[in-house]
Amino acid sequence: MALAETPFLEAAPGAAPGAPPGAAPRRGRILDPGFKLTLRPMRYPQFFDMYRDAIKNTWTVDEIDFSDDLVDLERTLLPAEKHLVNRLVAFFATGDSIVANNLVLNLYRHINAPEARMYLSRQLYEEALHVQFYLTLLDNYIPDLDEREAAFAAIDTIPSIRQKAEFCFRWMSSMDDVDQCDTPAKRRQFLLNLICFATCIEGLFFFAAFAYVYFLRSKGLLNGLAAGTNWVFRDESCHMNFALEVVNTVRAEEPDLFDAELGRQVAAMIGEAVDCEHQFAEDLLGQGVPGMSVADTRRYLEFVADQRLTQLGLPKQFGSKNPFSFMELQDVQELTNFFERTVASYQVGVEGDVAFDEDF
């Protein structure tokens, strides 16, 4: 089937059943203009549950020990591996700030459910925590002030990072002229923005960054970075799941929005994100990092992209398999560690289901 003719499937996995074609719109839909304030009656308890689960998963940057990392950076890493790390932390310097800005500017104002906005408030805190983590990371990894300043300017000076930033900014600004989601066209604009930040930025750009971190950890390197990334990884998986649940909710309330044209736009967007991240991989790995190739990274990106398309109820576009066994092991290891962590590792005890069941 040609890309332009590819419709959304009836529903993404786990989605609520959609309304029958031609049915009258429901009252109080989640994207209706307005600002509902009260939690009772609660129309979307799933978002309140996500908020409560997020509160249970509380950590602080002070818990992360970078001391072994500094030894690795000074004595162990090869020049090509140091280049990878420098590029990676330069991306980290602004990545979560971009996501936080889009959350405030475009998501919070248009998702008209107080229980969902409670989750977004928690997500904003977590994005600030990630920014603090990466600031602490840069302060430890790059003690030279001039080099650190250059890292924070990477979106202007490093082409592979600038391309990713421009991709993010273009989709963020796509909502600039939308004051209210009061027409189907504006609701589609909102959906594209939400899907972009969930699947392309948090679900692809960040997942690729996690893969580099866990590759280094598989070689016994930068365990402090990996420890902090474990928590960020869990947060980002929850952020993506929340956004996909919003998509499923809109699909159930307004199935006519999910037509072939929206499917084509989403598939093209995710394909462009893969190309952006591929260029970044060529930069990171261009000096020849033993054990990690650009070709394998491309296949991994395509594999993750197909997972995101599947989560959205769209056909896979690439058919690539995961070439990184260390990412498959990551799923098992983190599932075990998640339940074995002591109170010393969390400010609040964790219980219940783990959102760490994503396909990598």
pLDDT digits (tens, 9 = 90+) for 323-346: 999 887 554 344 334 333 433 334
pLDDT digits (tens, 9 = 90+) for 134-193: 999 999 999 889 988 989 999 999 999 999 999 999 999 999 999 999 999 999 999 999
**Contact present, 96 and 130 (Cβ < 8 Å):** yes
Annotation marks residue 134 as catalytic: yes
Q: State the CATH number of the domain containing residue 292.
A: 1.10.620.20
**Contact present, 120 and 108 (Cβ < 8 Å):** yes
Catalytic one of 44, 51, 119, 134: 134
Q: How far apart are CA 132 and CA 177, in angstroms?
A: 31
Q: What does the DSSP 8-state code read for residue 204?
A: I
Let me know if residue 76 belongs to a domain: yes
Let me know if residue 18 belongs to a domain: no
pLDDT value at residue 9: 54
* Mean residue pLDDT across the chain: 87
The residue type found at 350 is V
Q: How far apart are CA 16 and CA 249, in angstroms?
A: 7
Let me know if residue 138 belongs to a domain: yes
Let me know if residue 167 belongs to a domain: yes
SS3 letters for 266-331? HHHHHHHHHHHHHHHHHHHCCCCCCCCCHHHHHHHHHHHHHHHHHHCCCCCCCCCCCCCHHHHHHH
Domains contained in the chain, number: 1
**Contact present, 6 and 309 (Cβ < 8 Å):** no
Let me know if residue 52 belongs to a domain: no
Predicted structure pTM score: 0.85
Let me know if residue 7 belongs to a domain: no
- How far does Cα 235 stand from its chain's mean position? 9
Please tell me whether residue 24 adopts helix, strand or coil conformation. coil
**Boundaries of domain holding 168:** 69-341
Nearest alpha carbon to residue 67 among 229, 231, 232, 222? 222
> Taking the CB of residue 39, how many other CB atoms lie within 10 A of it?
13
Let me know if residue 35 belongs to a domain: no
Q: How far apart are CA 215 and CA 233, in angstroms?
A: 14
Let me know if residue 352 belongs to a domain: no
The residue type found at 2 is A
